Homo-oligomer: A and B are copies of this chain.
Amino acid sequence: MDIIVCKFGGTSLADAKQFKKIKAIIKENPARKFVVASAPGKRFAKDIKVTDLFLSCYEKAVSDTDFEENLKRARERFEDIIRDLELEFNLDKEFDKLRNHLTNCPDKEYMASRGEYLNSMILASYLGFTFVDPEWCVCFNEDGTLNEAITKRTMSAALHPLSNAVIAGFYGADINGKIRTFSRGGSDITGSLVACAAAADLYENWTDVSGLLAADPSIVESPKSVEFLSYRELRTLSYMGARVLHTDAILPAAQRGIPINIRNTNRPNDNGTMIVRKLPKGEKRYPVTGVAGRKGMSVIQVEKVMVSDGSGFSAIMLDILKDRNLSFEQCLTGIDSITLVIRADLLNPCKEELLKEIEDTLNPDYIGLKENISMIAIVGEKGTESSDANVKVLEAIADKKIEISTINQGAGKLNLLVGVPDERYEEAIRAIYSAIEEN
């Protein structure tokens, strides 16, 4: 392995103790050349993240109230780290600049990015690595979306001359030089972009859990962690709400086929979860990798005799949604019926209107709306061999007398999607998990 890109999350960089762990990890393997850093996170449950302190400075500045107290608290976090690590690092100039910014032209995204900026400079100094400011190599469009094509070129250009570097996560700048932050995925995306630009052999995503868990630990007691996961499985699980990597974050690395290893800064000897394009063969892996879900879905069901005699009905239905820019989670057409699963927060503002439009346009025999439905994905790349697993899962739900509103398993069989009432979501997750765990 020649090049490993390591991204460290906020809790991995919360204080000097964490910085020391990181240094040990990086020094242990010389391939760990490029490091992407977050802002200092929480040190304990009720702690405040540095980024939140900076954002409250911004809020106070725009409402013309005094931001000094919060600015001071943020500075103390960095000063503590610098002092405990015995670094020569003076923050005077940086905080003068911040005070100046807040007084004259406070900007939210700029303030939101300063935690990463300062923390990465300090980490670079501590590791003896070069600091790379993403202001110059993570390029946003004016609408705030990432310009991935240009970023790949600028990031490659920035990294090419360097033998090692710490790159600040979470932000970049647009063509006008304005600082922009990722709306979702944060520093994980930066890490993924750096891994691509560096043509890394591995992207290590260091966090405070030993990999992806097979179920939400706030619902299921001590779920097992997943050893291998395909990109597609991760994508599905994180889409459905499993908390590890944001959906967007895996894309750049996945496109290049770079494996992603989720690891635990506090337990560096754990293997964590390895996320790969193709699962290793011959492994005796249980067909179900994990289970995750989302509450707050609405299910619209439209029936019209003879729907299936022409694709036209479904196409009209989807055009109605497209015209409203209303995205859906699932669409199932059967004989004479179409079922749409839509997030309630997206549907609710136009619910009555939409139902009326469907009624007027399609003149269906029946329209039904079910609300407060949770969608549960049972995910497993080896689904092709898992008719038994599907049965076990549905049996587990049926045993609890939980009403199933929809079942969807496409030919890819990466996942089985099952709808249950919101109020029985946790119970269903536990039932499914113990059914798949038993094996």
Interface residues in chain A, defined as those with a beta carbon under 8 Å from any beta carbon in chain B: 232, 235-236, 239-240, 247, 251, 254, 299-301, 303, 305-306, 308-312, 314-315, 318-319, 321-322, 326-339, 366, 368, 370, 377, 384, 387-388, 390-391, 394-395, 397-398, 401-417, 419
Contact = CB atoms under 8 A, between A and B. Distances in A.
Contact of A411 (B236, B321, B336, B368): B368
A413 B239 CA distance: 26
Q: Which 8 A-B pairs have the closest CB atoms?
A: A339-B410, A387-B398, A407-B409, A301-B411, A315-B318, A331-B333, A311-B321, A339-B411
Nearest to A369: B411
Most B-side CB within 10 Å, residue of A300, A322, A366, A391: A391
Given A240-B335, A408-B409, 11 more contacts: A235-B305, A247-B306, A311-B322, A328-B333, A330-B333, A332-B333, A334-B414, A337-B412, A338-B410, A405-B411, A407-B409
A390 B398 contact: yes
Contact of A327 (B308, B334, B404, B405): B308
15 contacts: A235-B305, A301-B412, A308-B327, A309-B327, A315-B318, A330-B333, A334-B408, A335-B377, A335-B415, A339-B412, A384-B403, A387-B403, A404-B409, A405-B413, A406-B409
Given A315-B318, A332-B408, A335-B239, A394 B390 contact: yes
Given A322-B315, A412-B339, A310 B327 contact: yes
B315 A329 contact: no
Contact of A311 (B308, B326, B411, B415): B326
A390 B301 CA distance: 19
A143 B308 CA distance: 22
A332 B335 contact: no
A291 to B, nearest CB: 14
Contact of A328 (B308, B390, B401, B411): B308
B387 A402 contact: yes
A45 to B, nearest CB: 32
The DSSP consensus for interface residues of chain A is mixed
A127 to B, nearest CB: 34
Contacts of A334: 330, 408-410, 412, 414-415, 417
A384 B402 CA distance: 11
Nearest to A331: B333
Contacts of A397: 387
Contacts of A330: 308, 332-334
A172 B305 CA distance: 24
A232 B412 contact: no
Residue among A299, A370, A390, A397 facing the most chain B CB atoms (10 A cut-off)? A390
Contacts of A407: 390, 407-409, 416
A335 B234 CA distance: 12
A324 to B, nearest CB: 9
Contacts of A247: 306
A377 B308 CA distance: 14
Nearest to A377: B335
B404 A251 contact: no
B308 A239 contact: yes
Contacts of A239: 308, 335-336
A187 B108 CA distance: 74
